[in-house]
Amino acid sequence: MLSALRRKLAGVAVAGMLAIGFGVANASPASADLNQCFDGYYCQWEHSNYTGDFGQARYDTWYFGPMTDSASSLWNNRAEWATLYLNTSYTGECLWVKPRGWHYAIPWPMYDRFDSYRVGRHWTKGQFGESVPCSYTIGEGTFVKT
């Protein structure tokens, strides 16, 4: 499936769009898809199959704003791990997404729950400095308990 996704992305011109922080675009479900997700960004969609409202972030994002408790599909379109948190400010339960990892329908108990995001490595559960692993990991279409 990933190769299919990459094919779908190939040749898409990124024309003068800027995403600052967690940019959110409202889109009709019919027009929302993976082509929205820039290389080097973490991306999430309101509904499964990469549809509905869309948001992407290049840097740590403490609060997802209008996309809080909303993500049902995601794509970590970057070379580093992403860590998603169920609470704002990188706290509470979390989930890891491997570099270039994706899921078209985030399973229970993690769908519609992400509030914040950190980039760069396996960040841990809870407040800064704690070393409790996140409970789940998303790979290329996979969802496993850590």
- Write out the binding residues for Ca ion, residues 114-133 only, by CB under 5 A: none
Instruction: By CB under 5 A, name the one of 19, 112, 126, 135 that touches Ca ion.
Output: 112
* C-alpha to C-alpha distances, 133 to 40, 64, 73, 83, 107, nearest whole angstrom: 24, 22, 22, 10, 19
Instruction: By CB under 5 A, name the one of 36, 51, 72, 137 that touches Ca ion.
Output: 72
The least CB distance from residue 106 to Ca ion, in Å, is 8
Q: Stretches 9-17, 29-37, 65-73, 113-121: which one binds Ca ion (CB under 5 A)?
A: 65-73
* C-alpha to C-alpha distances, 106 to 9, 37, 46, 137, nearest whole angstrom: 21, 17, 11, 11
Our finding on whether 61 is near Ca ion (CB under 5 A) is no
The least CB distance from residue 141 to Ca ion, in Å, is 18
Residue nearest to Ca ion (CB): 72
The least CB distance from residue 3 to Ca ion, in Å, is 26
User: Among 105, 81, 108, 78, which residue's Cα sits nearest to residue 93?
Assistant: 108
Residue 29 makes CB contacts below 8 A (sequence gap 6+) with 47, 51, 52
Pair of tokens at residue 87 = 């609470």
The least CB distance from residue 131 to Ca ion, in Å, is 30
Q: Between 33 and 52, how does the x/- string for binding to Ca ion read (CB under 5 A)?
A: -------------x------
On whether the CB atoms of residues 89 and 116 are closer than 8 A, the answer is yes
On whether the CB atoms of residues 103 and 71 are closer than 8 A, the answer is no
Give contact residues for Ca ion (rule: CB under 5 A): 46, 72, 112
